[in-house]
Amino acid sequence: MANLSLHINDQAVGPVEIAPEVTMIEFLHEYLNLTGTKFGCGIGVCHACVIIVENDDGTLATERSCISNALMFNGKRVRTIEGHATRNQNDQVIALHPAQQAFIEHFAFQCGWCTPGFLNETIALVDRLKRNPVPKASLETVIEEALSEHICRCTGYVKYYEAIKDLIESTEHTTI
């Protein structure tokens, strides 16, 4: 057994004693009851389980929580889908993250199971583009590359991609 301490959605978690083979998604689900991160394939292919790691330099990285050992995240700051919206004291959402807003306004998802992965990847992409803007003309290619591995069975991807493109175009300093 080993101890795990980290920050999830700005909240300190741990130390929690866990078995060393527990994956991050299992830790979120079975230890913390944070089930917003979704299990899809369990082998890192579908990307439904993608979460965000906030690096020390302020950049964002994404990780597939179904194939990542929970202990890999010891000492790190992690953000999951539960952590993007602004909530009041009663835990009710009072403001959505711009990416969440773009997704709902575009009717981007249907069943919603793959939404956490798409959302986290999008938030990390926008963050990256803010630091390294790309030509507007290359936006579709940039989106395709960033989201290319994410599987959605319901939508045909169109409204996800349109939402992401619209989000980037309406976010300052992401394109040149």
Partner 1 sequence: MHEPPFDPSRRALIKQCVIGGVAVYSAPLLLMANPGAKNAAPGGAPVGWRNLDESVAPGFRYDAVAKVCGEKIFSRDYRARDMFGWPNQQHYGLVLRAPRADAVYEGLDLGDLSDEIKPYRVVSAEDLGSHKLHLPPYYGDHMLVKPGAPPDFMGHPVAILLFDDFVKYKRAKSDLQFNPSALRFGRSVTPTYTRKDPYASWRIIREQGASPGAPDQYSTLKDGLFFPDIVNHRPQWNASPDKNGNTAERGMYYANKLREDIASGNDYVLKQRYQTQSVEPMSMEPEAFNGWLDSGNATLHVVICSQSPQDFHRQAGGMLAKSPLTTGIKNLVVHTPYIGGGFGGKDHTIFPYYGVLASLFSEAPIRVANDRFQQFQSGLKRHPFIMDNQLAIDRESLKITGLVSDMTLDGGGRVNFSPSVTSVGATAIQSIYYLPRSDVRATCYPSDMPTAGSMRGYGTLQTMAAMEMMINQSAADLNVDTFKLRRVNAMRPGQPNAQGALPNGDVRYVEMLDVAEQHPIWQQREGNKKKFEQAHPGWRYGVGFGIASKDYGTGAQAPSALVEVTPEGRIHVKNCSVEMGTGTETSQATLVARYLGKRADTVSMAETQLFDAMELLETDDPYLMSQETQDKHSKDPHWTPVIAMASSASQSAYYQSHATAQAARILFEQALFPAAVAILKEHYFNSAYAVPDFDDISLASWSQGGLTIAGNIPLALERIVARAREMDLPLGVMVHTFNRWAWAEAEFVINGNNCNYPVDAIALKYAKGTQHNLNKFNFQVANRLSVNYPRVALNNAFVTYYTPCATLAEIAVNAGDGTVKVLRAHTWLEPGTVHVEKLVEGQIEGGLAMGVGHALHEYLPSGNEGAGDGTWNLNRYQVPLAKHVGVWNIKHTLIPPSASTDPAKGIAEVVMIPIVSALVEAIYQATGKRFYHLPVSAEDIMEAFQ
Q: Given the rule CB under 8 A, which residues bind partner 1?
A: 19, 21-22, 26, 29-30, 33-43, 45-46, 48, 80-82, 84-85, 90-93, 96, 100, 103-107, 109-116, 119, 140, 144, 147-161
What are the residues facing 13 on neighbouring strands? 6
Nearer to partner 1 among residue 60 and residue 102 (C-beta)? 102
140: amino acid identity, one letter? E
Report whether 50 contacts 65 (CB < 8 A): yes
Q: Distance (Å, rounded) from C-alpha 51 to C-alpha 8?
A: 10
Nearer to partner 1 among residue 10 and residue 105 (C-beta)? 105
Nearer to partner 1 among residue 30 and residue 131 (C-beta)? 30
CB of 56 to partner 1, least distance (A): 25
152: amino acid identity, one letter? C
171: left (phi over 0), alpha (psi -120 to 50) or beta: beta
Q: Distance (Å, rounded) from C-alpha 79 to C-alpha 142?
A: 23
Nearer to partner 1 among residue 100 and residue 174 (C-beta)? 100
CB of 13 to partner 1, least distance (A): 16
